[in-house]
Structure formats: C-alpha cells, structure tokens
Amino acid sequence: MARATATKVGGPAPALELPDTEGHIHTLPAAGTAPATVVFWTCNHCPYALAWHDRLVEVARDYGPQDVRFLAVNSNDAERYPRDSLEAMRERVLEEGWPFPYLHDESQQAARDWAAQTTPHLYVLDRELRIRYEGAPDADHMNPAENAAWLREALDAVLAGEDPPRDATDPVGCSIKWKQ
C-alpha cells in the first residue's frame, strides 16, 4: 500500500499547468479565487480509479455550486498503457460527461512535483492553495455507500474555514505508471 506523504499537508500546493482533453490549458494558481480546489490523479485503466470515479463526480456536482474547483490529472505512460492515451481520455470525458477537466500530464512532471503515487490520489486545497487533505476519497473503494466521505469532510472543513478532521490518509489504488 502506498503511504501518504503527510509532510506536504499544510504546505503550498505545487504549481500546475496542463492541457485538458481539448487542449485548453488549466493552471494553478488560476485567475479568480476558488474557496477550495480538489486536484486528483486518476486514469482510465485502474479498477480502483474506476470504482471511485462516480463518487468523485457526485462530489464535484454537489460542491460545484459552492465554486469548488476540481482538476483530474492523468500522468500514466500511455505508450505502455494505451487505455490512458489522450484520445482515450477525450472519449471518456465526452461519453461520460465529466463535470471537471481531465488534464494530460504527458511529461509526468506534475505527478513528480506533487508526489502523486496512485490512481486515485487526492489533494484538497484551501483558498490560499495550501494542501489541507491528501489521500483516498473514503475508506472502501468497493462500497459506494462510503460516498467519498473523507473528501467531503475535508471540503466541508475547508469551506468552513476549519481544519479537516483528518489531514491525510493512505492513497489506495494502482501505482502511477511511470515511463521507463
């Protein structure tokens, strides 16, 4: 199991500048001030990422009205894992109607900067873009009733200007597929 790098919690989030599946560039920091931002690593081929995906979509839809920003990032090596190609990413976004951009980290630099380990691996940032929670969406990828509870409690706390009840959990999922 991957271990959370809890030392980063409380610190500033690394900058991010990546294209989405339509080529639009998304940055962090960005213009405007989101009261909270969720950056999470995911991919197309990992059963853990797929099992949790609908829950993350629901969170994005539930917190969208509060202007919470969501950025999904795929850093996997698409040469060895063709299901994670940009084209396959684009197909998913269009077919499934994703409510957040799906960013392509072809160089894998973003994953290195953030020390992302697994898909999924989540980071919740506050208004000042400090990392306030890092880890898994909830305690059990196999139980939809968990409802991304850890992510939701972190967001609720950040939006209320409070400390999340837990600031780090172990990210659970498939390892990031690094280029060889």
Structure tokens at 17: 């500048």
The overall longest dimension of the chain from CA atoms, in Å, is 43
Amino acid letter, 80: R
Span from 1-9, 97-105, 125-133, 136-144 in contact with other proteins (CB under 8 A): 136-144
40 binds other proteins (CB under 8 A): no
Whether 63 contacts 158, CB under 8 Å: no
User: Which of residues 37 and 119 has its CB atom nearest to other proteins in the complex?
Assistant: 119
Span from 4-12, 62-70, 78-86, 101-109 in contact with other proteins (CB under 8 A): 78-86
First to last CA, the chain: 22
Neighbouring CB atoms inside 10 A of 113's CB total: 13
User: Which of residues 101 and 173 has its CB atom nearest to other proteins in the complex?
Assistant: 173
165 binds other proteins (CB under 8 A): no
Using CB under 8 A, count the residues that bind other proteins: 14
- The CB-of-110 to other proteins minimum distance in angstroms stands at 21
User: Which of residues 34 and 176 has its CB atom nearest to other proteins in the complex?
Assistant: 176
Alpha carbon distances (Å) from 84 to 56, 59, 115, 142, 172: 19, 23, 19, 22, 19
Using CA atoms, how far apart are residues 30 and 82, in angstroms rounded to an integer? Answer: 31
User: Which of residues 28 and 116 has its CB atom nearest to other proteins in the complex?
Assistant: 116
Which of 45, 90, 130, 166 is the binder for other proteins (CB under 8 A)?
Answer: 45
Half-sphere exposure of 72 (CA within 13 A, CB side): 25
Which of 35, 144, 146, 170 is the binder for other proteins (CB under 8 A)?
Answer: 144
64 binds other proteins (CB under 8 A): no
170 binds other proteins (CB under 8 A): no
User: Which of residues 30 and 81 has its CB atom nearest to other proteins in the complex?
Assistant: 81
In degrees, rounded to 5, the angle at the alpha carbon of residue 109 between the alpha carbons of residues 63 and 156 is: 20
Binding residues vs other proteins (CB under 8 A): 45-48, 50-51, 80-83, 141-142, 144, 174
